[in-house]
């Protein structure tokens, strides 16, 4: 079946502008995660959704970052007043349930460049 | 919170040789340890995982071992091939919360 999809694949924006990144998880997956990967670096957890609620937002780097999930499916990560240090690949992952630890499947990512 | 250390950061091996990547974790509550392979410009792909009730798992040329007492786990790739060249990430997950805490990654280069 279809995997995790993300859009846009690439986004170039000017410093100070807002951006929205979208994630479509695998159908039926109730858990959704956002991670960030800076150039040549590892993966950093941002936020986790179970259904439409976000029990763990501990990785969001500042109040410029927010995310929502509607209908237990699509999620949007919003970065307000972007800064150059926000440039990174933003990866979304989903897994079937949080009742037990499950494999997370990653999307292709959105490569964000803030000029 | 959980902290995962991964070594080495880079690894160069001759085709046909073995490669070993080691990770340590800090939180004894972690009970699931996946390994992801990420090729340049691509998404991380799960290659093997191990749960805390198992000490070793093998899948063809790839094996993972887990020492819960010492809180470390390792990835072993035998008979390496050029297509094994990639960045490999280990991760640890607790039963509750379920977020992945990643190691810093190992860039593996297999020389033909």
Say if A95 is an interface residue toward chain B (CB within 8 Å).
yes
Say if A54 is an interface residue toward chain B (CB within 8 Å).
no
The pLDDT, as a whole number, for residue B97 is 53
The pLDDT, as a whole number, for residue A55 is 84
What gap in Å lies between CA A80 and CA A78, rounded to an integer? 6
**pLDDT tens for residues A64-88?**
999 999 888 999 999 999 999 999 9
Per-residue confidence band for B35, with pLDDT thresholds at 50, 70 and 90: very high
* Residue B83, SS3 per DSSP: helix
Please name the residues in contact with B72: beta carbons below 8 A apart, sequence gap of 6 or more.
Answer: B22, B23, B24, B25, B66
- Across the interface, whether the CB atoms of A101 and B98 are under 8 A apart is answered yes
Average model confidence (pLDDT) for chain B?
Answer: 93
């Amino acid at each position: 079946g279809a995997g995790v999809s993300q859009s846009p694949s690439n986004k170039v924006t000017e410093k100070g502008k807002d951006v929205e990144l979208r994630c479509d998880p695998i159908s039926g997956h109730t858990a959704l995660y956002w991670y960030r990967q800076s150039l040549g670096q590892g993966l950093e957890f941002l936020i986790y959704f179970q259904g439409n609620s976000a029990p763990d937002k501990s990785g969001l780097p500042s109040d410029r970052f927010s995310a929502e999930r509607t209908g237990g499916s699509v999620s949007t990560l919003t970065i307000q007043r972007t800064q150059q240090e926000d440039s990174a690949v933003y990866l979304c992952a989903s897994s079937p349930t949080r009742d037990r630890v499950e494999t997370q499947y990653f999307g292709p990512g959105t490569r964000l460049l803030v000029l | 919170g959980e902290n995962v250390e991964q070594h080495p950061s880079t690894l160069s091996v001759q085709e046909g040789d073995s490669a070993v990547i080691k990770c340590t974790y800090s939180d004894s509550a972690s009970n699931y340890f996946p390994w992801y392979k990420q090729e340049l410009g691509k998404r991380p792909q799960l290659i093997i995982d191990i749960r805390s009730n198992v000490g070793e798992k093998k899948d063809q040329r790839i094996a993972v071992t887990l020492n819960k007492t010492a809180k470390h786990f390792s990835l072993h790739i035998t008979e390496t091939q050029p297509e094994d060249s990639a960045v490999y990430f280990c991760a640890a997950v607790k039963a509750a919360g379920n977020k992945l805490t990643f190691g810093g990654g190992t860039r593996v280069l297999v020389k033909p």
